[in-house]
Each structure stands twice: as structure tokens, then as C-alpha cells.
Amino acid sequence: MKILVTGGAGRLGRSTLAALSAAGHEVVSVDRATAPDFDGRQVDIDLAHPTAFSGFVAAEAPDAIVHLAAIAVPFSAPEGVILDTNSRLAFTVLDAAREHGVARVLAASSPTVMGYGSPTGWEPDYLPLDEEHRARPWNAYALSKQLVENLVAMFARQQTSTLFGAFRPCFVISPGEWSGEPTQQGHTVVDRLNDPSLAAVSLFNYVDARDAADFVVAWVERAGADANGEVFFVGAADALALAPLSELLPYAAATGLDGTAPAFSSAHATDRLGWAPTRSWRTELPPEQRALLAGPDAS
């Protein structure tokens, strides 16, 4: 397939370009920044100009579009800017796909739509969280991602010639970050493991960028018409924590989240697409980083 990837130079985008290319697809990165170590075409298009992107899609005639471009960090810009930018870019991409008959479109949402971390308090209806759990966004970033999912559902209801989908990648960790490069929050993976307060706000969720990219490949290649408009959680099979979540989250004690069990379930992606994560912090942290851990799993 010929696949356009918006935001191809980003943390998840770089792994997505690599995974789709390795799977034999013709991949084009659409980003105002350059993706290092990617040998395919890279096109600088400002998605804030819908006419330009629509014309590009018409000329390229791709088989699929993967939409990752967005302001990726909550509160990294004024709330109104985040809401306007993320929702507008998603509409531009999905509408161009609809207009030009692109067969498949997958857009990135976020687990933040769940509403955890709210300053007014939050508790889940149940754990682990799945796609059926109600969304309660409390900031502009989370709301913008809920709007992305609503746009996917809206376009899916309009016609059947294009397959639309959304996925919620957990806190994305790129390959270099296992070796000590700063994560998108500025601290390291080891920092998050050693200081539970850093990861508690996100319920200790995470996913290796390569696993999330493998999900993209699975969706592009395997999603059927019965998945039109569906949303998928995409996360690691454990929590980014040294202790069980039943000890770290007050509302998790009675849920059975013992051992390494995560607060987020990716079972729907496994059932629908046969995808499952293969990497965790336990497999990816190199010895020199593991030596910095302080806790029961430090060895």
C-alpha cells in the first residue's frame, strides 16, 4: 500500500515510518520537520492549510493515511491553541481522505480522554480501563483527542467506502529513551520508575513506540469493515511501576491489579487485530539504566 503518515518526524511517527516500511509499504512522511534515518519521501506540508493537504492527497492517491500530527503534550501551549490545532488538523486529514476516497484512515487519540489526573478528583468506574469506559476529559488536550474520536465516528457514519479508526497509544517511549534520553515530560524512564508521583497521574501507562507502530501496521493491514469507527487502547502489558498498582493507586486495591498488571487493557486490539505488545521496561532497559533503579524489581 501507499501510506501517508502525518507527524512522521515525531516520537511515535519515526517508529511508524520504520514499521510500515519494513512491512513492505510505500511510505510518505508528511511533517514540517525531518524524520532522521528515514530513506523514504518526506514532504513539508502545513496541515493548517486544508486546501494544500487536500490537493496533496488528490495528487498522491494513497491507499491509507495514518494521522499522528498534533500538539502532543498537554499544557505545552495555551489551552485554546491546543484545542483548535488538534481538532482542526484531524478534521483536515479525515475530510481530505473522505473527499478523495482513501480506503483507510487511522487517527491517533490518547488515553487522557479518560480524565485521570483531574484536579477535582477522579476515580475509574472499573479497572482495567477499556474502550467501553466513559470518557471524562478535563483539559484541552484530552478534549481535542475526544473530538478526534468523534470525528472518526462521524465520518464512519457518513459512508462505507473509507474505513476510519482511532487508537489511544499510552505514554509513548521511543527506543532511545530506554537508554536515558528524556521522555516527552522531560525526565527519564528511570525517573518515572523510581518516583511513583511522576507516573501516578497517568496511572503508570506506557507503550514502546515500536509496539505502537506494530499496531498501526496491524490495523492498516487487517482491520475489517466491522471495525469502522472503532477505538483501540494500545499499551504495554504491564505498568511502568516497580510495585503492583494495588499498592500505588488507592482505588486499585480491590480490582485485582496485582503483580505487574496494567491499568489499561489492550485486549480489544488483540481480539480484533491479533496485535499484542512484545516489549516492556523489563525487557528494554539496558543494564546501566537498570542499575539506577531502586525497588523490588530493580534486579
Q: At a CB cut-off of 8 Å and minimum separation 6, what does 12 contact? A: 68, 108, 169, 172, 174, 209, 212, 213
Q: What is the model's pLDDT at position 253?
A: 84
Q: Which domains does the chain have, with CATH numbers?
A: 2-172+207-236+264-278 (3.40.50.720)
Q: What is the model's pLDDT at position 257?
A: 87
294 or 102, which is more confident: 102
User: Number of C-alpha atoms within 13 angstroms, CB side, residue 252?
Assistant: 22
Quick check: pTM over 0.85?
Answer: yes
- What are the pLDDT digits (tens) for 236-285? 999 999 999 999 998 888 887 889 999 999 999 999 999 999 999 999 99
Asked if 190 and 220 count as a contact pair (C-beta separation under 8 A), the reply is no
Q: Which residues of 177-196 are buried (b: 16+ CB within 10 A; e: fewer)?
A: bbeeeebeeeebbbbbbbeb
Q: How long, in residues, is the chain?
A: 299
Q: Is the pLDDT of residue 193 over 90?
A: yes
- Between 79-99 and 140-158, two packed helices, what is the crossing angle to 10 degrees? 20
Q: What is the model's pLDDT at position 296?
A: 55
